[in-house]
Chain A
């Protein structure tokens, strides 16, 4: 059996539909997970009572349990607890919760580079701790943490393929679905690997543009 390009051409529309869903789920989850990261890191470094401790527990839980177990918990467990989500939103929730834990640690790492002196300067100008965080610490931490935030985002993008396990028709689901009918395993997996690779490269490209812009104040 040789590599059949004509076959892939015929499957192209289906793959594109899967790709589009992958892009939507991933993009939304990346944005939301960064938001979780910034807010969670804020709760920790500003030592918000109760919430700060909850954040620690959340990060530990997510980092020490398998993503697939988290996904099944959200998809099969939450309805039992009275929360019924669509496939799409189950996927977004799962990826956001998973990546959010890592983004918290990424932002926190960046925050460690924001010195005590800037905090005191902000306070002595009358800024509240929260305003200091939003206007000074978070922007600086995001600049420093950007490379590790990109890594987490790339992992998120690749891990979106786990969502095939709950039946969300994203890129990997489409491929597996076709393989089960046509048995064109090599063509399909080669195709989706190339597509994932292109997605990651695109994401990296935009991240490096962003990094360049955020670094403008530090270039002489």
Chain B
């Protein structure tokens, strides 16, 4: 008997007006595993990942975090569970009026009741880990995109979440700085952080993912460990997508 998955979705559906963005999604994420979510633009990846922490409220379905059900129709329940599931966005979304250090300490202080001095000590330790200890007192505008995204990651970590969701964390970055962010994410994976990652970085998916999930038109088409997924995709739709991004990648590197 295995323990229940850390994140478990059943029949999650979401409609925007006339458009059905998600059709009854089932997804399990085991504790300590990395799930990479890929698919064409508009296939519902962001909507799905946002349904996991309630930034988008699912219309139907059930969500369990660490075995406990989340009451998807109550904002309070989401607020509570969001302290347990962190999220990193494409545009970093650091609070621009606060220093890097304050960005990291404000929610542990206000939400987890950690004393200021302790929160700062923890924040500095996290910044050191991502090579940004010297930026603690700077404002976000003084940091490069890659540096801001690394701060956003450790800001999420400072809440000590059970899992972290990433929505295209490197899509807004210059090519030179993408590597520094992916390295931090690889480190987290090695330490056993549970992660759900929407990305177009296929190298990252192959190297780090325990499972790759391919979505199209609001449905999960195929999911498999990266080796099987990339080398022997079963569905025509998956093959078409993979060949399209491969040719794009080759064009980009040509």
Binding site for B on A (CB under 8 A): 117-118, 120-128, 131, 135-136, 139-140, 143, 214, 216-218, 220
B142 touches A125 (CB 8 A): no
B98 touches A217 (CB 8 A): yes
Please, how many angstroms separate the alpha-carbon atoms of A143 and B87 in the complex? 27
Q: From known contacts A131-B110, A135-B106, A217-B139, infer whether A124 and B97 are also in contact, taking CB-CB under 8 Å.
A: no
User: Could you give, for residues 32-62 of chain B, a 1 whenever the CB lies within 8 Å of some chain A CB and a 0 otherwise?
Assistant: 0000000000000000000001110000000
Which residues does chain B contribute within 8 Å of A135, judged by CB atoms? 95, 106, 110
Which residues does chain A contribute within 8 Å of B139, judged by CB atoms? 216-218
Please, how many angstroms separate the alpha-carbon atoms of A139 and B106 in the complex? 14
A118 touches B55 (CB 8 A): no
Binding site for A on B (CB under 8 A): 53-55, 79-80, 82-83, 85-87, 89, 91, 93-99, 106-107, 110-111, 139-142, 152, 155-156, 159, 165
Which residues does chain A contribute within 8 Å of B94, judged by CB atoms? 121
17 contacting pairs across A/B (C-beta < 8 A): A120-B87, A121-B94, A121-B95, A123-B54, A124-B55, A124-B85, A124-B86, A124-B87, A124-B156, A125-B83, A125-B155, A126-B83, A127-B107, A131-B110, A216-B139, A217-B96, A218-B141
Which residues does chain A contribute within 8 Å of B159, judged by CB atoms? 125-126
B55 touches A120 (CB 8 A): yes
Q: From known contacts A124-B55, A127-B110, A135-B106, infer whether A117 and B96 are also in contact, taking CB-CB under 8 Å.
A: no
Which residues does chain B contribute within 8 Å of A140, judged by CB atoms? 96-97
A126 touches B111 (CB 8 A): yes
Which residues does chain B contribute within 8 Å of A126, judged by CB atoms? 79-80, 82-83, 107, 111, 159
Could you count the A-B residue pairs with CB atoms below 8 Å apart for me: how many are there? 71
Which residues does chain B contribute within 8 Å of A139, judged by CB atoms? 97
Please, how many angstroms separate the alpha-carbon atoms of A140 and B141 in the complex? 14
Considering the complex, give the chain A residue whose CB is closest to the CB of B156: A125
- Checking B79, B93, B155 against A128 with a beta-carbon cut-off of 8 angstroms, the contacting residue is B79
Which residues does chain A contribute within 8 Å of B82, judged by CB atoms? 123-126
Which residues does chain A contribute within 8 Å of B96, judged by CB atoms? 140, 217-218
A218 to chain B, nearest CB (A): 6
With A121-B89, A217-B139 already in contact, 12 other A-B pairs whose C-beta atoms are closer than 8 Å? A120-B89, A122-B95, A124-B53, A124-B87, A124-B156, A124-B165, A125-B82, A125-B111, A131-B110, A139-B97, A140-B97, A143-B97
Please, how many angstroms separate the alpha-carbon atoms of A56 and B78 in the complex? 30
6 closest residue pairs by CB, A with B = A121-B93, A126-B83, A124-B87, A217-B139, A125-B107, A126-B82
Please, how many angstroms separate the alpha-carbon atoms of A125 and B93 in the complex? 11
A128 to chain B, nearest CB (A): 6
Which residues does chain A contribute within 8 Å of B106, judged by CB atoms? 135
B35 to chain A, nearest CB (A): 18
A133 to chain B, nearest CB (A): 13
Which residues does chain A contribute within 8 Å of B165, judged by CB atoms? 124
Please, how many angstroms separate the alpha-carbon atoms of A152 and B128 in the complex? 46
Which residues does chain A contribute within 8 Å of B152, judged by CB atoms? 121
Please, how many angstroms separate the alpha-carbon atoms of A140 and B95 in the complex? 9
Q: From known contacts A125-B155, A126-B111, A131-B110, infer whether A136 and B95 are also in contact, taking CB-CB under 8 Å.
A: yes
